[in-house]
Amino acid sequence: MIAPGPTQYQMVFCDIDGTLLDSTNRISPGTGQKVRELDRIGVPFILVSARMPSAIFPLQRELGIKAPVVCYSGALILDEHGEPVKTVGIDREKAVRIEKFVNREWKGVCCSAYCNRDWIAGNVHDKWIVQEQSITASVPKEGGISDFVPQGGQVHKLLCMGEAEAIADLADALGKRFSGLSVYRSKDTYLEIMDGAVSKSGAVRYLCKLYGIPPQATVSFGDNFNDIDMLLATGACFAMGNAPPEVKRQAQNVTADNDHEGVLAGLKQLSFVKKRI
């Protein structure tokens, strides 16, 4: 639990799916009101997600706040005006090799790619693409990586979707065949593939340095395995009540689940103050 003391927190890092959003993909009114209160006193509320920019900014507009956003789990950080301030991607040629490997060897798995603001899918009518589109309201472009990413370019993320057993096997196969990657399951049926230098904790450190705020004066919220490094990088952290047991064990605190305003409950336990200039 949060230890008693005088700490006043100056920045919040919050995962989106399963954390800020409830199971109907909505932000509760109470949580939105609290986030706006923090924004009014100058405490940045940073949305941190594996999502692409077009699936994050509408939520930020709904909240009525302005702050940087962390996309693709840290592969792309955009400032409050939507301009990139940090980008780390997989080289185009390597991404094409991964795409071909998945498409050739894993017929039941859907592989799509993200580059900056583009989502690239070989078949936009694939059931997995349609499902992801309904969740994020993002619109894919049909084709392959080589059709949209120029020579010398980079891919911020590859997303493989399929049945849980196939995704688990694919994660193991990719780790053996390709080096220098960050490969993790964001849920049983989703496999996220990024450059090995990408992490949510890296985004925390980068934005803390940018704002001149010590990590000890920040707080984070998350619900899954890909959030653990972020949770451990901030001064205070909360695993959601809907998080897997291992994520809860790693976190300093456990709050309510995402259907019972877990983020709001955690924020109410803390004292916040604007960074002193």
Is there a contact between 223 and 264 (Cβ–Cβ < 8 Å)?
no
Catalytic residue among 15, 195, 227, 229: 15
Q: Is 169 a catalytic residue?
A: no
Return the active site residues.
15
